[in-house]
Chain A
Amino acid sequence: DAGITQSPRHKVTETGTPVTLRCHQTENHRYMYWYRQDPGHGLRLIHYSYGVKDTDKGEVSDGYSVSRSKTEDFLLTLESATSSQTSVYFCAISEVGLWNTEAFFGQGTRLTVV
């Protein structure tokens, strides 16, 4: 199994509070991604990183920010959580230079905003 660890695995937080989710990899892959999964929507990309301090927005980036200060860590921050951000969040990694690779996914973080 690819070495990807997401923390926390479950979190309940109140509306308006900041929340940070962490993705840690041990594979030294260049690319890291944050997706959210909601019923009926599959997985939608929030932000991604193509290197240390290099990040870009995905299709549902509003209300989220990310940081990557080290190759192995990719943080997703909800500055002020809202109920619409209740979701399951997945981190993924890939080595895009090798095109015949799939994205490996973390176990997911279930976030509930009350």
Chain B
Amino acid sequence: AQKVTQAQTEISVVEKEDVTLDCVYETRDTTYYLFWYKQPPSGELVFLIRRNSFDEQNEISGRYSWNFQKSTSSFNFTITASQVVDSAVYFCALRVNTNAGKSTFGDGTTLTVKP
């Protein structure tokens, strides 16, 4: 069975602060994919990033960066110089090769960025 844990239920920061959202996963599969999705107040789910289990390179996209560490089963997400528009619920998800593409989601972290 797969499990995704986002221990931070809510985070509040002031604009321009850096913030890291934690994601810890569990799986016995050796091939898997990790995802981050953003859900703004409007409610839609927006794909942010995908990472496969064989690629531990960190990735940076503008103010967003992701740190994947297999040794600790973590896939953390950092927003640098946060902005009010970053306020949203962020979900981490895990998909394994053997599971028909079904994704297991964490419970989400609600990020509030105050001006």
Contact = CB atoms under 8 A, between A and B. Distances in A.
A101 B50 CA distance: 8
B34 to A, nearest CB: 11
B35 A56 contact: no
A43 B100 contact: no
A61 to B, nearest CB: 12
B100 A48 contact: yes
A42 B92 CA distance: 9
Interface stretch (B40-48, B59-67, B70-78, B80-88): B40-48
Contacts of A58: 102
22 contacts: A31-B101, A33-B103, A40-B9, A42-B4, A42-B107, A45-B102, A45-B103, A48-B100, A48-B102, A56-B100, A90-B45, A99-B33, A99-B97, A100-B33, A101-B50, A102-B50, A103-B47, A103-B95, A104-B47, A105-B44, A107-B44, A108-B45
Interface residues of B, number: 24
Given A100-B50, A107-B43, A40 B107 contact: yes
A110 to B, nearest CB: 8
A44 B105 CA distance: 7
A33 B102 contact: yes
Contacts of B37: 105
A70 interface: no
Nearest to A31: B101
Interface residues of A, number: 27
Nearest to B49: A102
Interface of A: 31, 33, 35, 40-45, 48, 50, 56, 58, 88, 90, 92, 94, 96, 99-105, 107-108
Interface string B82-115: 0000000001010101001111011110000000
Contacts of A56: 100
Nearest to B39: A37
Nearest to A88: B43
A33 B102 CA distance: 8
B12 to A, nearest CB: 18
Contacts of A44: 105
A100 B52 contact: yes
